[in-house]
Structure 1
Amino acid sequence: MSDLYVTWSEYHKKIERLAVKIYQANWEFNQIVCIAKGGLRVGDILCRIYGKPLAILAASSYGGSQNRVRGEITFSHHLTMTTETLGNRVLLVDDLVDSGVSLRESMNWLEERYGNELEEIRTAVLWYKAHSLITPDYYMDYLPDNPWIHQPFEPYEQISPTELAASYLVKEA
């Protein structure tokens, strides 16, 4: 497996280009649901661009050494949202689709809890890996060699508050 390194600038440009791709599809949606943690930044920027409410579905499936070991997916008990209802056309976003399990299970989670409200769920991600069991509706990059993606916020997973504070003490001295 190769590695793909992404800068903050590249990351934000991909989100902007994804917003344009969704816009060009002429699909009207009334709610964005992001899968947290990875989809938080994507969902935040898309909700600002589109002026649509953002709901958050917390999910976790990676852990272990350097947060690279995929395990069983765990979801929050509730969807966090500021609207009274979910809406009937939902854009479900994440940063990437790797195996496809998180995206598929997130769709199932929404259907189980909000199926009576939902007419359609479409999915959007920045990166779509070849070994995914599902194809997202919107994506920026198709990755045929399934690389490990090093996103710009990854360093925060490797530093403790103590180390961060110490680095600022040195800089301020």
Structure 2
Amino acid sequence: MSLPDKAFPVSWDQFHRDARALAWRLAGLQTEFTAIVCITRGGLVPAAIISRELNIRLIETVCIASYHDYLNQGELSLLKGISPELTANGGEGVLVVDDLTDTGKTAAEVRAMLPKAHFACVYAKPQGVPTIDTFVTEVSQDTWIFFPWDMGFTFQEPIAKGGKG
């Protein structure tokens, strides 16, 4: 298993700015969200930022595992569902938050549980875009996003010398 050729490393500062940009977009919708459902684990950090910015206090998780080895998206596994109070009425007024939509499989799984919810991601790849409602940055399908919680401080080889970014 090797990583894709295109790497998109995201620092904590950049991720915070991008999550706040997503909050601005959501605030512009003039929709009154009553709760956030974050898709774990990636949705935890943006949900915290968005909940602060939009003053949403009720936060729930839906736990779905799809990247079992950090490189390849595998079979989806529902580890924890959503409370009946939030699934009532199809999830109307609920904001679903994730860090990334890649193929859209996870979003489609959650959308089946909350068909009336609004789906938002910080980053989106083309295959996943049709499954969500709002996002900030689109990257190509063959790009691997390195989130700040997955990285440490190491030297990066320059691209001209064969580095991946």
TM-score for the superposition, normalised by structure 1: 0.75
Q: How many percent identity over aligned positions?
A: 27
Name structure 1 gaps, 5 residues minimum: 112-119, 157-173
Tell me the distance in 1 between the aligned counterparts of 2:9 and 2:129: 24
Structure 1 residue 59 corresponds to structure 2 residue 55: no
| Higher alpha-carbon Rg | 1
1:82-101 mapped onto 2 (5 Å cutoff)? 85-86=85-86, 88-101=92-105
Q: Output the CA distance in 1 between the equivalents of 2:61 and 2:30.
A: 24
Distance of 1:131 and 1:30 partners within structure 2: 29
- The corresponding residue for 1:167 is none
**1:39-89 residue CA offsets vs partner (Å, 9 max, x unmatched):** 01111111122222111111101122xx11111111124336xxx822631
Runs of 4+ in 1 over 6 A off after TM superposition: none
1:155 aligns with 2:160: no
Q: 1:164 maps to what in 2?
A: none
**Residue 142 to residue 77, structure 1, CA distance change in 2 (3 Å):** closer
Greater Cα shift, 147-156 or 93-102: 147-156
Q: Contact 1:104/1:134 (CA < 8 Å) preserved in 2?
A: no
Matches within 5 A, 1:42-81: 42-52=46-56, 53-64=58-69, 67-79=70-82
Q: Go from structure 1 to structure 2 and tell me whether the alpha carbon gap of 1:4 and 1:98 turns closer, same or farther (over 3 Å shift).
A: same
> Can you give the 5+ residue segments of structure 2 that lack an aligned partner in the other structure?
153-165
C-alpha separation in 1, matches of 2:113 and 2:9: 31
| Paired residues for 1:7-18 under 5 Å | 7-18=11-22
TM value normalised by structure 2? 0.79
Q: What corresponds to 2:38 in structure 1? A: 34
Q: How many residues align?
A: 143
Give the stretch that moved more between structures: 32-41 or 141-150.
141-150
Give the letter for the 1:134 counterpart: P
Aligned match of 2:114 in 110, 113, 116? 110
- Measured after TM superposition, the shift of residue 27 of structure 1 is 1.6
